[in-house]
Amino acid sequence: MSKRNIVAVVGRPNVGKSTLFNALAGSRIAIVQDTPGVTRDRIYQDVEWLNHSFTLIDTGGIEPDSKDIILAQMRDQAQIAIDTADVIIFMVDVKQGLTDSDSKVADMLRKSGKPIVLCVNKVDNYNRDSMDVYEFYNLGIGEPFPISAVNKQGIGDLLEEVVSHFSKSSTDEEEDDSVKIAIIGKPNVGKSSIINKLIGENRLIVSDIAGTTRDAIDTPVKYNGKKYTFIDTAGLRRKNKIKDELEHYMIVRTVGAVERADVAILVINAEDGVTEQDAKIAGIAHESGKAVIIAVNKWDLIEKDNHSVKEFTKDIRNTLAFMNYAEIIFISAETGQRLVKLYDMIDMVSENHALRVSTGVLNEIMTQAVVMQQPPSDKGKILKLYYITQASVKPPTFVIFVNDKKLMHFSYTRYIENQIREAFGFKGTPLRFIIRERK
């Protein structure tokens, strides 16, 4: 199983982070339907390059208007990158030259011990600018990689350097066989309270692993003889932050946590109902293809009658219709109500996430499904489904071979999905389908 590597870009406003994002966009293979109702922020994006794929995140918040704030914000960015990324691209601007805040942030990044790749942007003409590029050696974080994001120059060399740092960091994590659970949700829904309650006496004491800050937000637990690791997304809590900036950091944190997890627990505040912000966070979990549990917390604060659960569930299913595979549980971190049930649910959804179904049985189900509901046709040509096989797990991914891809409407794929779910459950996990033509 592979966890996607995370690459974070840190840099002052206007150095060209967005431009680099755009230059790297569009290479993604579209197997996931766009998440309805959730606009994908430019804050994070999947990048495929040669044989590598990774998630690129822009840790830069909104544009501050004074020098002091720029430095404070860059420190926050750098800290988030240190906590969440496998590799950090530190971007500077050759036209502005070396600034004081660049040096301070470089110090901070260097001390973290994370792999840092120094990217000097706006080198539109290397012959002219090369002397200016050398200046950045003074940052003490290694060789500067000159690029022109606008002209898409130098990006190959930059990415080659970035991916050269991958293999080491990902094998480190694969040695750990615990189930990884990201607790996600907007601020104040009770994420930390849930983690603290769940951990209780079960915290595993582990010997210090060589010092990344990341370990501080990961809590290993042993429960009923099984190992779990809870990944917290709480992070920076500073009062005087602007709303947009907080939201930006929340998204960065969530992407980072979810990518490293097997299961995402989306925590919703029962008092608020399902909000737009919840939907945005849910969208991140959905797109990552992880198993999902929706935990409605603070259930103790709701005046309940025997319709409450049903109505709340309906509300979730409507607002988060794109993830109707998610399991739902109503809990209270305050009273402890149903909290231990979460462990069973985590086991169940993570098993489903890794479930493999034999090709023979899959084809029986598809053949029956086709008999019960005729496939769509267009201008006299009928869709033929030849063969189905499961290509991978986490999430379970199926390949269906057909005569003509254009005839395979989304609704018919959904129908096949429902038949498979009826037979095997697959509760709590998304399923993915790849449609291939076979002549």
Closest CA to 427 of 340, 338, 327: 327
User: In the beta sheet, which residues pair with residue 87?
Assistant: 7
Applying CB under 6 A, the site for ligand GDP has a residue count of 31
Question: What is the per-residue binding string for ligand GDP in 307-336, x denoting contact by CB under 6 A?
Answer: -------------------------xxx--
Binding of ligand GDP at residue 13 (CB under 6 A)?
yes
CB 129 within 8 Å of CB 93: no
Taking CB under 6 A as the rule, does residue 301 contact ligand GDP? Answer: yes
C-beta of 62 vs 434, nearer to ligand GDP: 62
Check residue 252 for interaction with ligand GDP (CB under 6 A): no
Residue nearest to ligand GDP (CB): 190
- Distances in Å between the alpha carbon of 380 and those of 383, 402, 407? 10, 16, 11
Minimum distance between the CB of residue 123 and ligand GDP, rounded to whole angstroms?
7
From residue 15 to residue 34, what is the string marking binding to ligand GDP with x (rule CB under 6 A)?
Answer: xxxxx---------------
- Say how far apart CA 322 and CA 40 lie, in whole Å: 14
Per rule CB under 6 A, is residue 14 in the interface with ligand GDP? yes
Task: Report how far residue 93's alpha carbon sits from residue 53's, in angstroms, rounded to the nearest whole number.
Answer: 26
Residue 144: cis peptide before it, omega within 30 degrees of 0: no
> What residue spans of 85-236 are helical by DSSP H?
100-112, 126-134, 155-163, 166-174, 191-199
The only residue of 5, 45, 79, 148 in contact with ligand GDP, by rule CB under 6 A: 148
Specify whether the CB–CB gap between 88 and 82 falls below 8 A: yes
Stretch that binds ligand GDP, among 7-15, 76-84, 368-376, 415-423 (CB under 6 A): 7-15
The yes or no reply on residue 376 touching ligand GDP (CB under 6 A) is: no
Cβ proximity to ligand GDP: between 182 and 402 the closer is 182
φ/ψ (deg, to 5) at 312:
-65, -40
Q: Which of residues 98-127 bind ligand GDP (CB under 6 A)?
A: 121-122, 124
What CA–CA distance (Å, rounded) separates 80 from 9? Answer: 10
Amino acid at residue number 407: L
- Within 181-210, which residues bind ligand GDP (CB under 6 A)? 185, 187-193
Task: Give the nearest distance from C-beta 266 to ligand GDP in angstroms.
Answer: 11
Specify the residue, 195 or 407, whose C-beta has the smaller distance to ligand GDP.
195
Chain Cα centroid distance, residue 147: 27
Question: 351 by DSSP, 3-state: which?
Answer: helix
- Residues making contact with ligand GDP (CB under 6 A): 11, 13-19, 60, 121-122, 124, 148-150, 185, 187-193, 234, 297-298, 300-301, 332-334
